Amino acid sequence: EIVLTQSPGTLSLSPGERATLSCRASQSVSSTYLAWYQQKPGQAPRLLIYAASTRATGIPDRFSGSGSGTDFTLTVTRLEPEDFAVYYCQHYGSSRWTFGQGTKVEIK
Amino acid sequence: QVQLVQSGAEVKKPGASVKVSCKASGFIFSTYAFTWVRQAPGQGLEWMGWISAYNGDTKYPLNLQGRVTLTTDTSTSTAYMELRSLTSDDTAVYYCARVESGIIDSWGLGTLVTVSS
């Protein structure tokens, strides 16, 4: 089973700053099968990025994904107030799916 | 529009079973797969398995295999998740979600299952 490790656990930033979130896989995964989700308190997660770098419908272009192999990154170029949330990466290949443990982006 | 409407909150005793439903609308149910994800209080997301509504194929994580069963009813466009032998560790919000080409693109609002004696 692939283990996804996200870092940092918490990111304290101000609105307008750049956020860089990391997701590291325990073994190489196809970038085709790597997604990112955003979750706000009391809400279901929302798909942001799939296939490592493709934005889901309606997702602003300040969100971008990159990476390959074992190292993947979610970048938010300029944080808006509504972007403060928890972010999860997920592997969804043909094997069993897994989520990272999450990165909380909080207001500094 | 895509809607996934889940059944209401449940309170169960240890050792019991729970079955959560997820009624879909706004799309052709049988052409998609569905997954279930749970989230214990204050914790992260845990994948519980997926099922193809087209052919009934399923896949479960090793830690839940044998205790969880996913089913679908195409006549009512409803997906189900049954979890048996409940313990307090199963207290969580359970989400159903639609899957397209492996991507979880729509989520239900969640169902709180509380296991308590």
Which residue of A lies nearest to B35 if distances are taken between CA atoms?
A: A97
Say if A88 is an interface residue toward chain B (CB within 8 Å): yes
- Show pLDDT as tens, one digit a residue, over chain B (117 residues): 999 999 999 999 999 999 999 999 999 999 999 999 999 999 999 999 999 999 999 999 999 989 999 999 999 999 999 999 999 999 999 999 999 988 999 999 999 999 999
Instruction: For residue B27, give every residue at least 6 positions away whose Cβ sits within 8 Å of its Cβ, in sequence order, or none.
Output: B2, B98
Closest partner residue to B103 among A39, A47, A96, by Cβ?
A47
Q: Smallest Cβ distance to B103: which of A35, A44, A45?
A: A35
The span from the CA of B43 to the CA of B116, in Å, is 18
Per-residue confidence (pLDDT) for residue A13, from 0 to 100: 97
The residue whose two tokens read 């959560």 is: B20
**Dihedral of the alpha carbons of B22, B39, A10, A57, in degrees to the nearest 10:** -10
Residue of chain B minimizing CA distance to A55:
B105
Closest CA–CA distance from residue B104 to any residue of chain A (Å): 7
Confidence of residue A86 (pLDDT cuts 50, 70, 90): very high
Split at pLDDT 50, 70, 90, the class of A94 is low
CA-nearest residue of chain A to B111? A44
Q: Do B110 and A44 touch (CB under 8 A)?
A: yes
pLDDT at B36: 98
* Interval A2-33: pLDDT, tens: 899 999 999 999 999 999 999 999 999 988 89
Angle at the Cα of B82 (from A96 to A87), degrees rounded to 5? 45
- Residue with the larger pLDDT of the pair B57 and A93: B57
**Three-class DSSP category at A32:** helix
- Closest-CA residue of A relative to B58 is A96
pLDDT of residue A1: 82
Quote the pLDDT of residue A30.
87
Who among A39, A98, A101 is closest to B47 (CB)? A98
What is the nearest CA distance from B49 to chain A, expressed in angstroms? 8
Q: Is A64 on the interface with B (CB under 8 A)?
A: no
Q: Any chain B CB within 8 A of the CB of A35?
A: yes
Q: What is the pLDDT of residue B115?
A: 98
Pick the residue of A2, A89, A96, A104 with the most B CBs within 10 A to test the interface with B by mutation. Answer: A96
Maximal C-alpha separation, chain B: 41
Q: Could you give the CA distance from residue A90 to residue A69 in angstroms, rounded to a whole number?
A: 14
